[in-house]
Amino acid sequence: MTYKTKSLLYFFSFVIAATSYYLVEQHKAFTNQMQSAEIVETQFEDDYEISETSQEQIDKEQ
C-alpha cells in the first residue's frame, strides 16, 4: 500500500469518526431537550386548561 493510499484511508476514517461523533452528540442534545422540564410543564398546563374548560362547561350545563 502506498503512502497516498494510506493517507486517504486515514483521512476518510477520521472524517467518518468525526461525523459519527457529531451525530451522537446531536442525538444526545435532542434527547435532553425533549426530556426537559419546560416541555413537561407545558403539557401539564395544557392538561390543566382542558380540565378547567370542561369543568366550566359542566357548571354551565347544571
Q: What are the backbone angles phi and psi of residue 36, rounded to the nearest 5°?
A: -75, 160
> What pLDDT is recorded for position 48?
55
pTM over 0.75: no
Residue 34: its pLDDT value, please?
Answer: 77
pLDDT of residue 23: 95
Please give the Cα distance from 3 to 10 (Å, whole number).
11
Instruction: Give residue-wise pLDDT tens across range 19-55.
Output: 999 999 999 988 887 776 555 555 555 555 566 666 6
pLDDT value, residue 46: 53
SS3 57: helix
Amino acid at 30: F
